[in-house]
Amino acid sequence: MKRIAKFHKVSEARFLEDWKDNFPEASDEEIKEIYKNIALPKRATAGSAGYDFYAPADFSIAPGESIKIPTGIRVEMDQEWVLKCYPRSGLGFKYRLQLNNTVGIIDSDYFYSDNEGHMFAKLTNDGREGKTVELAKGTGFMQGIFVEYGITVDDDATGIRNGGFGSTTNK
């Protein structure tokens, strides 16, 4: 296996700002405790392709509702690779839990963005059985798979990323 990446936590200050932006009722002490206990993504078995991302706190997502979770995680990887993120298959199967952008794409240069490459997951419970998704702190809810990619022979991209969603779109 090629070893091409390393997961890191974002800084405590970055996490505090991003958590407050999504959960303004949380106190600084609560957020610092959540940050302290963030677990880096891991594979469950030697044969697993996906790295499990763990819920940093307890979450409930009622049918039809969405939640945006700051993971506290960033990833440093070789330039020819991308991290593709998906919901854990069991959650998708049982609850129709979906990532709002279908597949999260984390480019190698996202690590160097002003937001430290902080990865977020926006999840929607699209279930039609009326089941609420309960994610306990420490539960795997998303998996990331590293994929190598190529570029065209006439590629001339020279832009530099600084941000997340939509930051590389030509305006």
Contact status, residue 62 vs residue 97, Cβ threshold 8 Å? no
> pTM for the full model?
0.91
Give the E-state strand segments of 24-137 in sequence order: 51-54, 59-61, 66-70, 73-77, 81-87, 97-99, 104-107, 120-125, 133-135
What's the structural domain count of the chain?
1
Please check whether residue 156 lies inside any domain of the structure: no
Please check whether residue 22 lies inside any domain of the structure: yes
Distance CA 71, CA 56 (A): 7
Residue 92: pLDDT band with limits 50, 70, 90: confident
- Please give the backbone phi and psi of residue 121, each rounded to the nearest 5 degrees, phi first: -130, 120
Give SS3 for 15: helix
Residue 19: give its domain's CATH number: 2.70.40.10
Residues 24-38 pLDDT 10s = 999 999 999 999 999
149 half-sphere exposure, CB direction, 13 A CA radius: 15
Share of the chain above pLDDT 90, in %: 85
DSSP code at position 79: T
Please check whether residue 166 lies inside any domain of the structure: no
Residue 171: pLDDT band with limits 50, 70, 90: very low
Please check whether residue 159 lies inside any domain of the structure: no
